[in-house]
A and B are shown apart, each in its own frame.
Chain A
């Protein structure tokens, strides 16, 4: 039983946390793709930027002595960081993507432009913050939550940190809010309409520019949220983006580009797959050592931890070969 709880902590809890981060990130990618039809590579850097904006806000709050009981300040500033990142996202669009669209550039050109934006944002962040690692919990304590399991002979507890709990709750709230927005509000429906058939949306008199702006606001806000969640869970570093852009795009593609709910499913799929792949299955197999026909090795992970990255990629390739537009039949440009 203790082994099962160890498994629960290391695969289920960790998978939910990682999956939430990927899902929130992938939704932004998928929305931008749905509306603007290009793979926005700078999304990972919008996440990093959101994380650093929140970090600065936290320092500001702490300097002014503002704090909220029971909540880490890094989490308290999240809404402000989301708004600021959304504004930056609008600025990036206006400065770099909108002129290209106005010229009638192909989506491929926009994709390359987003690489340029990636480099600029990354360069700027490193220029200001250097290339070291920053933590949201220098002065505050990261609280650990332990839940005892009321069963005979169980000594292990189910463990997770308070930020992890908060981020899972916020992910749920964000997903529900997004769902309501897309299915209930006029603007949200217009977004879906434009992702479905941009030409007809234009013919219907839908304000295309407004929809594009809303898309960037949502994508920027969600990017900040994912970035802050990641930074709260692990820590903040400027090259966070490169490590996360692959699993996030994999999640968005696996779920079908342009499909927000597909992206959420894809995010959790990849999150769970990654944690399960690097889990040491020996822990679960050891109690069965006598029954199994083979010796249980000391460590038995599906892939060594260094190759965690390959998991997202393998899932991506398998899904693309099996269903070229993703599990939920995504858009094609």
Chain B
């Protein structure tokens, strides 16, 4: 069976699976799952660019998704007049100036060899400059943060703009961070990149969780607006509650799918072209590609940024859809490793595979919770009949069960289908 036939069969099966689950859980639930799984498909495409095309490790997907969420919150949440009427903006402005001054100082020290400072002295001065810059910034931002947190709702609020702008800003923000990470880490070996990206994403999480003045941290922000009418809007015009959810979610789904289709088309085209061939050359033979005069690190930086943009947008969409931004709810399992499983199971290096994997794994992930709860309830019934008493905390245990299943899926996939269900069409060396 050719890969094409196999893909058709698999996608048909997936369609039936979604239809079946929809039949059981109801249209409202399946429309929710569809929106989320397509947002994950966009993120999986991002990882597929990085890992499948470029062979780059990114274990920091969670960080990119959180940035996207913060971006859409900031752009689309209504303006907070209390903040804008206070001294807050001025203090933040000072902090920004302090930050810029710090960077100017570091930049100046880095060029100090022009006035004859070299070697160890220059290193010492650079370190000193970093320390001074850090403390100057801290001296401005700490009181600003404390002040903002003390007035009104305790944070800066949003800009009140359209959510789609927020999604795009999420992409831009993720691109900026990816650029910095890439500049620092892409020259390093793969294992180091993996650790570095985990570190970055944990730091982003720590920052967004604790910078209450910017994100309200664990207090969460809600409601975040939709780019399309909300179910409540439909209810106001007399649509029944059940129908209103389905219609509104289908509207949201249309926009998400539009993004996925556009991204898919662009990525697919790029992959077939000279840029994609070069990426494969770099991935499969790093040294040879480098010696042929390709600027390997620069190409990898491009790919790292591009993938991160999709992750940022996807993360923003999910926050927008759920209408709540809760930095405390992000976990590496749900937001980094889940996406790895999608790409590995689907087929790294094949965009159809990545999308297929995203839809399949997300659906499995979501329905495995009720399924394992059902199983646990059955088991509990059996143990209590056997006189051993009921199983305690079924709910939380059942939701841990799916973490275990995710691990099993990864290891089985690596062992028995290492190239994924819809593998890359081009032969991969090694």
Chain A interfacial positions (CB closer than 8 Å to B): 33, 38-39, 41, 96, 99-100, 103, 105-109, 111-113, 115-124, 126-127, 130-131, 242, 245-246, 249-250, 253, 257, 304, 306-307, 309-310, 312-313, 316-317, 320-321, 324, 332-333
Known: A130-B393, A313-B203. A246 touches B403 (CB 8 A): no
Residues of A near B288 (CB, < 8 A) are none
Contact at A324–B188, with CB atoms within 8 Å?
Answer: yes
Residues of B near A320 (CB, < 8 A) are 185, 188, 192, 196
B313 within 8 A of A: no
Q: Give Cα A103 to B410, complex, Å.
A: 17
Mask, B329-357, CB within 8 Å of A = 1, is 00011000100100010000000000000
B269 within 8 A of A: no
Contact at A115–B188, with CB atoms within 8 Å?
Answer: no
Contact at A307–B198, with CB atoms within 8 Å?
Answer: no
Residues of B near A105 (CB, < 8 A) are 414, 418
Q: Give Cα A253 to B189, complex, Å.
A: 11
Known: A100-B415, A317-B196. A122 touches B403 (CB 8 A): yes
Contact at B206–A120, with CB atoms within 8 Å?
Answer: no
Contact at A332–B401, with CB atoms within 8 Å?
Answer: no
Contact at A309–B414, with CB atoms within 8 Å?
Answer: no
Contact at B199–A312, with CB atoms within 8 Å?
Answer: yes
Contact at B410–A115, with CB atoms within 8 Å?
Answer: yes
Across the interface, A119 reaches (CB within 8 A) one of B184, B199, B393, B406, namely B406
Known: A122-B403, A246-B195, A246-B198. A112 touches B393 (CB 8 A): no
The residue of chain B having its C-beta at the shortest distance from the C-beta of A247 within the complex is: B199
Q: Give Cα A320 to B184, complex, Å.
A: 9
B2 within 8 A of A: no
Min Cβ gap B286→A in Å is 12
B328 within 8 A of A: no
The residue of chain A having its C-beta at the shortest distance from the C-beta of B199 within the complex is: A313
Across the interface, B408 reaches (CB within 8 A) one of A38, A120, A307, A324, namely A120
Residues of A near B415 (CB, < 8 A) are 96, 99-100
Residues of B near A309 (CB, < 8 A) are 199, 202-203, 206
**Which of B184, B200, B397, B410 has the most CB atoms of chain A within a 10 A radius of its CB?**
B410
Contact at B418–A109, with CB atoms within 8 Å?
Answer: yes
The residue of chain B having its C-beta at the shortest distance from the C-beta of A238 within the complex is: B400
B150 within 8 A of A: no
Residues of A near B414 (CB, < 8 A) are 100, 105, 109, 112-113, 116
15 additional A-B residue pairs with CB within 8 Å, beyond A115-B410, A127-B400: A39-B194, A96-B411, A99-B415, A100-B414, A105-B414, A108-B190, A116-B409, A116-B410, A120-B408, A130-B393, A246-B195, A307-B210, A316-B199, A320-B192, A324-B187
Q: Name 10 A/B residue pairs within 8 A (Cβ), A-sorted.
A: A99-B415, A111-B191, A113-B411, A115-B337, A115-B407, A116-B407, A116-B411, A119-B337, A122-B407, A249-B195
Contact at B196–A316, with CB atoms within 8 Å?
Answer: yes
B378 within 8 A of A: no
Q: Give Cα A246 to B33, complex, Å.
A: 33
Contact at A123–B404, with CB atoms within 8 Å?
Answer: yes
Across the interface, B403 reaches (CB within 8 A) one of A106, A126, A253, namely A126
B396 within 8 A of A: yes
Residues of B near A317 (CB, < 8 A) are 184-185, 196, 199
What total count of A-B pairs have CB within 8 Å?
132
B430 within 8 A of A: yes
Across the interface, B410 reaches (CB within 8 A) one of A112, A124, A253, namely A112
Those of B156-208 within 8 Å (CB) of chain A: 184-185, 187-192, 194-196, 198-200, 202-203, 206-207
B261 within 8 A of A: no
B371 within 8 A of A: no
Residues of A near B407 (CB, < 8 A) are 115-123
Contact at A120–B404, with CB atoms within 8 Å?
Answer: yes
Contact at A120–B411, with CB atoms within 8 Å?
Answer: yes
Size range of the interface on B?
A: 35 or more
Residues of B near A103 (CB, < 8 A) are 418
Q: Give Cα A111 to B131, complex, Å.
A: 36
Q: Give Cα A320 to B189, complex, Å.
A: 10
Min Cβ gap A317→B in Å is 6
B128 within 8 A of A: no
Residues of A near B185 (CB, < 8 A) are 317, 320
Residues of A near B210 (CB, < 8 A) are 304, 306-307
Q: Give Cα A107 to B194, complex, Å.
A: 13
Q: Give Cα A253 to B408, complex, Å.
A: 29
Q: Give Cα A307 to B411, complex, Å.
A: 33
Contact at A310–B206, with CB atoms within 8 Å?
Answer: yes
Q: Give Cα A257 to B200, complex, Å.
A: 20
Contact at A127–B196, with CB atoms within 8 Å?
Answer: no
Known: A99-B415, A113-B414, A313-B203. A38 touches B196 (CB 8 A): no
Residues of A near B375 (CB, < 8 A) are none
Q: Give Cα A131 to B189, complex, Å.
A: 35
The residue of chain B having its C-beta at the shortest distance from the C-beta of A33 within the complex is: B191
Contact at A113–B400, with CB atoms within 8 Å?
Answer: no
The residue of chain A having its C-beta at the shortest distance from the C-beta of B332 within the complex is: A242
Residues of B near A107 (CB, < 8 A) are 191
Q: Give Cα A164 to B203, complex, Å.
A: 29
B405 within 8 A of A: yes
Min Cβ gap A315→B in Å is 10
Across the interface, A112 reaches (CB within 8 A) one of B55, B344, B397, namely B344
Min Cβ gap A118→B in Å is 7
Across the interface, B195 reaches (CB within 8 A) one of A39, A99, A117, A130, namely A39
Contact at B397–A126, with CB atoms within 8 Å?
Answer: yes
Known: A100-B414, A126-B403, A127-B397. A246 touches B191 (CB 8 A): no
Min Cβ gap A14→B in Å is 20
Residues of B near A39 (CB, < 8 A) are 191, 194-195
Q: Give Cα A227 to B12, complex, Å.
A: 47
The residue of chain A having its C-beta at the shortest distance from the C-beta of B398 within the complex is: A127
Residues of B near A121 (CB, < 8 A) are 407
Contact at A113–B410, with CB atoms within 8 Å?
Answer: yes
Contact at A112–B202, with CB atoms within 8 Å?
Answer: no
Residues of B near A250 (CB, < 8 A) are 195, 199
Residues of B near A126 (CB, < 8 A) are 396-397, 400, 403
Contact at B393–A306, with CB atoms within 8 Å?
Answer: no
Min Cβ gap A120→B in Å is 3
The residue of chain B having its C-beta at the shortest distance from the C-beta of A239 within the complex is: B331
Min Cβ gap A157→B in Å is 33
Q: Give Cα A310 to B134, complex, Å.
A: 14
Across the interface, A306 reaches (CB within 8 A) one of B187, B200, B206, namely B206
Q: Give Cα A331 to B414, complex, Å.
A: 26
Those of B223-237 within 8 Å (CB) of chain A: none
Known: A309-B202, A309-B203. A130 touches B194 (CB 8 A): no
Q: Give Cα A250 to B191, complex, Å.
A: 11
Min Cβ gap A12→B in Å is 22
